[in-house]
């Protein structure tokens, strides 16, 4: 009895996953949108954040690193 329940659960999960994949593919086809990124943004995600992004802060440690890297 327990084994048949497990098999039923496995089969149900496989069928549900397959149906979800088919549904997702058909939605993409219907909207005309692709999951592949175009070349127009070169993979860069552009957001609308108002925060200033600080990538580098001038410190003595960084200065030492840059001098040794030259």
| pLDDT tens digits for range 26-60 | 555 566 655 565 667 677 877 888 888 888 889 99
Residues 41 and 43: their CA atoms lie apart, in Å, by 5
Looking at residue 46, what is its pLDDT?
A: 79
* CB distance 56 to 62 below 8 Å: yes
Spell out the alpha helix ranges (H) of 1-70.
2-31, 60-69
% pLDDT > 70, the chain: 66
């Amino acid at each position: 009895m327990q084994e048949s329940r497990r098999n039923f659960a496995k089969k149900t999960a496989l069928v549900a996953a397959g149906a979800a994949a088919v549904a997702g593919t058909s939605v993409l086809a219907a909207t005309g949108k692709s999951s592949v990124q175009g070349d127009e943004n070169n993979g860069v995600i552009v957001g609308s954040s108002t925060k200033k992004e600080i990538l580098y802060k001038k410190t003595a440690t960084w200065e030492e690193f840059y001098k040794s890297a030259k």
